[in-house]
């Protein structure tokens, strides 16, 4: 069966999937002015200012795969996009899967990987200087997870996958498939923000590091989130850090296609496994 990718979530759930694989027309070291999502919604994250454009890396420190490199200490690089489906109000779930590394070794106290233009109405992922910890926020509700809780071999400049945001009304921060947040109640936060940045986002918290993929999701089930985690772990050689009971510890998610008319088929004949 073919390999599963976030596209198989459907473009109403997978609102925007930015993967550096899609930038193969660029040469190593080129500036990135536009990063277009590949789930089917064709959302473009853009930067017009030459001084704020990140850089394409053909073979990154993220399992030697392509990535977009941000130099927040010097330039506050960022790419900005708008996605109306990320407005989930107070009742919906909004999460993002980040795949990459981020280690602020400069004098900055913190860095940011993504947040909405209005921080009080968006999900956010920030990291502390020297990778001392990672902060997730849903509006005013936040939690800082110390690096002492990170699995061995995934701290410092090491890359990782994180799923963060609000799910079932609570904070979520799944670190390579393992929930590490305090799961605080965030059900009162109105997540109506539709303008988001990747990288140094909307304030003086510069992103330093490489991002291979960002997967923004609206109202996914836990099973769908686990599929994204399994996809990331097997693609980027992170399976050793997945929890032993993760459903995709041993094998990546797959899908099979059947044709015909049946109530059991979705997306024109697609069955996911």
User: What's the pLDDT at 205?
Assistant: 67
3-state SS track over the chain: CCECCHHHHCCCCEEEEEEHHHHCCCCCCCECCEEECCCCCCCEEECCCHHHCCEEECCCCCCCCCEEEEECCCCCCEEEEECHHHCCECCCCEEEEEEEEECCCCCCCEEEEEEECCHHHCEEEEEEHHHCEEEEEECCEEEEEEHHHCCCCCCCCCCEEEEEEEECCEEEEEECCEECCCCCECCCCCECCCEEEEECCCCCCCCEEEEEEEEEEECCCHHHHHHHHHHHHHHCCCHHHCCCCCCCCCCCCEEEECCCCCCCCECCCEEEC
Q: Which two tokens stand for residue 139?
A: 């509006």
pLDDT of 107 reads 56
**pLDDT for 14:** 98
What is residue 72's predicted lDDT score, i.e. its pLDDT?
75
Q: Identify any residues that bridge with 71 across adjacent strands, giving them in sequence order.
A: 208
Tell me whether residue 209 is exposed, middle or buried, using C-beta atoms within 10 angstroms of its C-beta: 0 to 12, 13 to 18, 19 or more. buried
pLDDT of amino acid 270: 52
For tokens 């390579």, name the residue: 176
Paired tokens of 61: 């420190």
pLDDT at 215: 98
User: What does the pLDDT profile of the chain (273 residues) look like in tens digits?
Assistant: 678 999 999 999 999 999 999 999 999 999 999 999 999 999 999 999 999 999 999 999 999 999 999 987 677 889 999 999 999 999 999 999 999 987 666 655 667 889 999 999 999 998 877 667 889 999 999 999 988 888 877 877 788 999 999 999 999 999 999 999 999 999 999 999 999 999 987 665 678 889 999 999 999 999 999 999 999 999 999 999 999 999 999 999 998 766 555 554 444 445 555
């Amino acid at each position: 069966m073919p390999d599963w990718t976030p596209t198989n979530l459907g473009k109403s759930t997978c609102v925007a999937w930015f993967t550096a694989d899609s930038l193969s027309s660029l040469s190593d070291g080129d500036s990135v002015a536009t990063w277009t999502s590949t789930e089917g919604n064709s959302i473009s994250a853009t930067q017009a200012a030459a001084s704020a454009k990140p850089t394409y890396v053909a073979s990154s420190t993220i399992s030697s795969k392509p990535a977009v490199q941000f130099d927040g200490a010097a330039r506050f690089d960022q790419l900005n996009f708008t996605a109306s489906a990320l407005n989930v109000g107070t009742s919906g779930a909004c999460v993002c899967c980040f795949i990459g590394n981020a280690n602020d070794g400069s004098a900055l106290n913190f860095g940011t990987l993504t947040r909405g233009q209005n921080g009080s109405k968006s999900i956010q992922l920030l990291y502390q200087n020297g990778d001392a910890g990672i902060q997730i926020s849903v509006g005013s509700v936040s939690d800082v997870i110390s690096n002492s809780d990170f699995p061995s071999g995934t701290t410092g400049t090491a890359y990782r996958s994180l799923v963060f945001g609000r799910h079932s009304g609570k904070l979520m921060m799944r670190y390579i498939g393992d929930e590490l947040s305090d799961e605080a109640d965030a059900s009162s936060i109105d997540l109506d923000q539709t303008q988001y940045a990747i990288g140094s986002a909307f304030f003086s918290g510069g992103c330093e590091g490489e991002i291979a993929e960002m997967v923004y999701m609206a109202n996914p089930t836990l099973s769908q989130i686990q599929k994204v985690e399994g996809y990331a772990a097997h693609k980027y050689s992170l399976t050793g850090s997945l929890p032993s009971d993760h459903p995709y510890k041993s094998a990546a998610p797959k899908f099979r296609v059947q044709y015909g008319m049946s109530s059991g088929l979705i997306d024109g004949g697609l069955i996911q496994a």
